[in-house]
Structure 1
Amino acid sequence: MTANGQAVAVSPADQIRDRLDDPKVAASLNNLLDHADLLAVLVTGLDGFVRRGDAITDSLSSAVNDFKGAATAGALPGAEALKGVDLQGLAQSLATLSNSLVGATPAINTLLASRLTDPQAVEVLAALGQALVDGKAAATADPGGPKGLFGLWKVTKDPDVVRGLGFMIQVARAFGRQVGQ
C-alpha cells in the first residue's frame, strides 16, 4: 500500500477491510451472525466436552473393559460371535451407509410420508412379492405359456387369472386418476 508516494506496510486491519469487500466473505459473516445463538451453544458444548474429555475417555474405557470382562465370563449370550467381527470394515460400511442415507433422505422422507407405508399397502406389496416368486416358479416349470390368442382366451377362464386381471385393471384406473390430477 502507498501513502503520499511512500510504501506503507499493510496493517492487519487493512487486510480485514479488504477481505470484507469480498461478497462471499460478507455473506458468510452474515450467516454466522444470523446463527450466533446456535454457535454459542455449540461452543459451550464443545468446551464442556473438551474439559471433561479425560472423564469421558475413562468412562468409555471402563465400559469397554466391562464389556470385555462380561464377554469372556460368558455373561453376554452371543458375545463369542462378535469376536470375529471386522470392526474397521463395519466402521467403513457405516460411514458409506450414512453418506448414502444423507443423499437419499429426501426420497426416504417422500416414501415415509406416502401411503406406501400404510399397513394395507404393505400387505398388498407382500402379496405381490409372493405372487412374483410363485409366478417365476410356474414360468420356469412351464416356459412356453399360453400359445396364441386362443390360448390367452382359454387362460381367462381361470378364476385366479380373472381376479388378477381385475385387480390390475382397478390399479390402472386408480393410477390413471392420480396421473390425471
Structure 2
Amino acid sequence: MPHLTPEPNEGGPLVVNGQLAAHSPADELLERLDDPTVAASLSVVLEHADLLAVLVVALDGFLRRGDTIMEGVADGVRDLRQASGPGVSSLSGIDVQGLMSSATTLSGGVVAATPTLHALLTSTLVTDPRAAKAIALLGDAVVEGADAASAIKAGPTGVFGLLRVLKDENVSRGLNLLIEIVRSLGRRLA
C-alpha cells in the first residue's frame, strides 16, 4: 500500500511514492474527519439525524409554501373583517399588508437563526432532562421571589443585615447553586 504524505504547504498536492498526486475532495474530507471536534460534532448530528430531518423538511415546506401561507392568513383576516357580527369590529383595524410584511420578516429571521436553532437543539439544554428541570426550577424561583420581594417594603440593610440573611438555610442553598453554576461557567470559558 502506498504511503501518502501531504506536501509542506497545507492543502497542496499529495506525494505518493515520491510522485505528485492530485488532492481530491475525498482527501480533504478524510483530513477534516481526523479533527476530533469535527468528529464529535458529526457524532452529535448523527445522533439527532431523525429530528434534524423532520426540522429540515418542515422548514423547507414552510419556506416553499410561505407565500401561500401568508396569502391564506391575509385572506382569513379579510374574511373576518368583512364578516358581520359581535366582536368582529375590533378586527377592522388590522393592517393586512403590515401583517404580511411582519410574517415575511419573521420567516427570514427563522432562516437566519437556523444555525443558532441547530446549536440549541443539539445542546444539553434541550436533550438533557436535568437541564429542563433546572430551568423550570429557576423560573418558578424567579416568579416566587418576585412576588415575595414585592410584598416586602425593604430588604436587608447594611452588612450585618446581609450577614443575618446568609444564616438562612434556603439562602445558603440558593447561593451554593449560583456559586456552582458560576464555577462551571468559568471552567467552560477557560
TM-score (norm 2): 0.46
Larger RCO of the pair (alpha carbons < 8 Å, separation 6+)? 2
TM-score (norm 1): 0.48
Decide which structure has the larger Cα Rg and report it: 1
More helix by share: 1
